[in-house]
Amino acid sequence: GEIFTARDQAHKRLAALIKKGAKLPLDLNGQIIYYCGPTRTPPGKAIGSCGPTTSARMDKMTEPLLTCGLKGMIGKGARSEEVRRLIKKHKAVYFLATGGAGAFLSKRVLSIKPVCFKELGPEAIYKVRVKDFPLIVGIDSQGTDIFGRDRS
């Protein structure tokens, strides 16, 4: 399927646009964002290394994106209790990708295309087509957290 990459700087820009009530450069409704900044694409490959970044850095910018219909996030590490509650409220899902496996994950990418904020280089937003991309559910749509925190 198709997912979008976005890291810190792209999140800051999206959150600022949402706060202003401006039109976003992509439709987040029903989409999945992968917290990833892909490296330069080597010749003959679809993408360079594309491992996950630490998700907690996006926590304070997650609510506006969920409000716009974002349904999934992919990253590494635990999320804040507030994000867990927001995931449950918006019936979203947080997936975990294996940290340190960027070269392996790149073999699951079929294509990559820049979408917006191209001047940010690897922190731009890219549309990525993936197949058999290995993930586990970190927080499900009911708020169940693999890290064992309160499930109420």
Structural element, H or E, at residue 50: none
Token pair for residue 29?
A: 């409704």
Instruction: State how far Cα 40 lies from the chain centre.
Output: 19
DSSP SS3 for 66 = helix
Residue 90 annotated as catalytic = no
Query: Looking at 4, 5, 11, 50, which residue is catalytic?
Result: 11
Q: Which of 143, 151, 139, 133 is nearest to 55 (CA)?
A: 139
Instruction: Compute the 3-state secondary structure of the chain and give helix, strand, coil in percent, each to the nearest 5.
Output: 30, 25, 45
Q: Which of 85, 81, 134, 143 is nearest to 106 (CA)?
A: 134
Question: What positions carry a catalytic annotation?
Answer: 11
